[in-house]
């Protein structure tokens, strides 16, 4: 029955192979949670897609809801922006933008007047518009701060960033849980070895070939379950005897986890570029355009003043409205081009990373765990199940290699 292998070799091999099963099933299970990003195989059942990429929308929604309910609000972010400081930071790029925009629009709508005007006169027109710009920026920021939710949906920004780029979501989870995933893989071998000793004892008593794959499945299943428990429990350090104490890895690494979470959130998700792009292209973009149009009207009225009826009469009502609309469109287009200039100040003012670190550090242990774990908790059983199935299959292979 045992072929050419002596009996002692079979008993020695069982805990050793069980240790390999414990390690390999953890390694494969963790990778199957993450990869591949897209389904590979023959749909709908013959193939695989990483659990996290597959359920990216649900996980992104849960994670974002938890984040916005406990860490950040749109109003809190916008309150950190100072209109006067932003106008000051944008002074140099804004002057160049206004110069270019004014010359372009005037030459298009009043080419004869603009061409006939001496350069001194053109500069005077440009300078008059430039003089109004800082106040426009301040008023625009003040308008945004009064009702920021009407201009940007912070939840949509975060969810869109995480679902649009599945690799970003996987990267976020890998970065936050790097040590925890490595811990799951590492403990697979000792757990497997211990169960392998029990397996050898049961085999000696029964010599039933079903014992091997069944124990393989139990090793994969139990070691995954135990590893997850050791990641989160106990919350506080607990001493076992005089020499050994243990605290859940996730809680022991709290400072590093918070820093990693804040870095990814502030550096890759709620970035100034993503926020500005959402304001310009998102569902509430019309509200922003309306605010810009209001400021343009105020600036035009400040320049034209009492002569506005004469100007409208001279250029025509339709052309005057077309001019106004083009100024608004041009201003919005230039805003897109100024993301780098705005972003440098916004990154400093918003300080998303600093806000998150401060608030998460002040949380209780339970609040800290409940902020990050729920997004993944629903899928923990899949990691355990995959480990069990892989363990059973490797155990079956062990039967064919050693016992037949």
Looking up tokens 């870095």 gives 263
Record the tokens describing residue 344, joined without a space: 């440098």
State residue 336's pLDDT score: 62
- Is the pLDDT assigned to residue 170 strictly greater than 80? yes
Q: Are residues 274 and 355 in the same domain?
A: yes
Q: Are residues 348 and 221 in the same domain?
A: no
Q: Are residues 263 and 339 in the same domain?
A: yes
Residue 356 belongs to some domain of the structure:
yes
Q: How many CB atoms lie within 10 A of CB 46?
A: 7
First to last CA, the chain: 6
Alpha-carbon distance of 290 to 343, in angstroms, equals 22
Q: Are residues 113 and 202 in the same domain?
A: no
Segment 211-227 shows an average pLDDT of 82
Q: Are residues 129 and 100 in the same domain?
A: yes
Residue 197 belongs to some domain of the structure:
yes
Q: Are residues 63 and 110 in the same domain?
A: no
Residue 369 belongs to some domain of the structure:
no
Q: Which residues pair with 246 in a beta bridge?
A: 238
Q: Are residues 120 and 152 in the same domain?
A: yes
Domain that holds residue 142: 73-167+258-361
Q: Are residues 264 and 344 in the same domain?
A: yes
Q: Which residues pair with 176 in a beta bridge?
A: none
Q: Are residues 156 and 117 in the same domain?
A: yes
Closest among 395, 28, 400 to 199, alpha carbons compared = 395
State residue 300's pLDDT score: 58
Output the DSSP codes for 236-297.
Answer: S-EEETTTEEE--HHHHTHHHHHHHHHHHIIIIIS-HHHHHHHHHHSTTHHHHHHHHHHHHH
Segment 292-320 shows an average pLDDT of 56
Given the DSSP bridges, would you call strands 40-42 and 46-48 parallel, antiparallel or unpaired? antiparallel
State residue 296's pLDDT score: 63
Closest among 326, 133, 93 to 141, alpha carbons compared = 133
In this structure, are residues 87 and 134 in contact, taking their beta carbons and an 8 Å threshold?
yes
Residues of the chain with pLDDT > 90: what percent?
Answer: 0
Residues of the chain with pLDDT > 70: what percent?
Answer: 80
Q: Are residues 158 and 273 in the same domain?
A: yes
Per-residue pLDDT tens digits for 62-108: 888 888 888 888 888 888 888 788 777 777 766 776 777 677 767 76
Segment 251-257 shows an average pLDDT of 88
Instruction: Give me the number of domains the chain comprises.
Output: 2
Q: Are residues 313 and 349 in the same domain?
A: yes
Residue 189 belongs to some domain of the structure:
yes
State residue 96's pLDDT score: 72
State residue 327's pLDDT score: 66
The overall average pLDDT reported for the chain is 77
pTM over 0.75: no
Residue 370 belongs to some domain of the structure:
no
Range from 54-68, 112-126, 239-253 carrying the lowest mean pLDDT: 112-126
Segment 280-299 shows an average pLDDT of 70
Q: Are residues 107 and 149 in the same domain?
A: yes
- Is the pLDDT assigned to residue 1 strictly greater than 50? no
State residue 277's pLDDT score: 78
Looking up tokens 């363990």 gives 391
3-state SS assignment for residue 177? coil
State residue 102's pLDDT score: 72
- Is the pLDDT assigned to residue 330 strictly greater than 80? no
pLDDT band (50, 70, 90) for residue 295 = low
């Amino acid at each position: 029955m045992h072929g050419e292998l002596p009996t002692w070799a079979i008993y020695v091999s069982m805990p050793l192979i069980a240790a390999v099963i414990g390690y390999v099933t953890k390694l494969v299970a963790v990778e199957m949670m993450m990869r591949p990003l897209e389904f590979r195989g023959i749909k709908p059942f013959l193939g695989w897609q990483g659990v996290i990429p597959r359920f990216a929308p649900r996980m992104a929604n849960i994670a974002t809801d938890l984040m916005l309910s406990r860490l950040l609000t749109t109003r809190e972010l916008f309150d950190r922006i100072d209109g006067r400081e932003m106008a000051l930071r944008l002074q140099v790029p804004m002057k160049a933008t206004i110069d270019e925009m004014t010359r372009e629009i005037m030459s298009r709508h009043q080419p004869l007047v603009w061409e006939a005007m001496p350069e001194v006169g053109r500069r005077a027109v440009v300078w008059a518009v430039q003089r109004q710009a800082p106040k426009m920026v301040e008023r625009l920021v003040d308008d945004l701060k009064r009702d920021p939710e009407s201009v940007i949906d912070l939840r949509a920004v975060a969810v869109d960033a995480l679902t649009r780029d599945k690799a970003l979501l996987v990267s976020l989870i890998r970065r936050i849980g790097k040590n925890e995933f490595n811990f799951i893989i590492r403990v697979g071998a000792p757990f497997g070895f211990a169960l392998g000793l029990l397996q050898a004892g049961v085999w000696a008593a029964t010599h039933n070939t079903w014992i091997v794959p069944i124990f393989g499945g139990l090793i994969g299943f139990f070691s995954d379950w135990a590893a997850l428990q050791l990641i989160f429990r106990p919350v506080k350090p607990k001493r076992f005897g005089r020499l050994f104490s243990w605290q859940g890895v996730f809680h022991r690494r709290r400072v590093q986890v918070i820093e990693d979470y804040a870095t990814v959130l502030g550096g890759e998700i709620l970035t100034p570029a993503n926020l500005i792009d959402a304001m310009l292209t998102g569902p509430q973009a019309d509200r922003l355009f309306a605010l810009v149009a209001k400021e343009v009207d105020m600036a035009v009225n400040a320049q034209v003043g009492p002569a506005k009826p004469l100007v409208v009469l001279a250029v025509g009502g339709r052309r005057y409205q077309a001019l106004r609309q083009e100024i608004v469109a041009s201003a919005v287009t230039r805003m897109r081009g100024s993301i780098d200039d705005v972003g440098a100040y916004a990154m400093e003012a918003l300080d998303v990373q600093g806000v998150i670190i401060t608030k998460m550090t002040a949380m209780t242990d339970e609040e800290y765990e409940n902020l990050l774990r729920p997004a993944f908790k629903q899928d923990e059983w899949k990691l355990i199940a995959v480990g069990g199935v892989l363990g059973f299959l490797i155990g079956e292979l062990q039967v064919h290699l050693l016992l037949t």
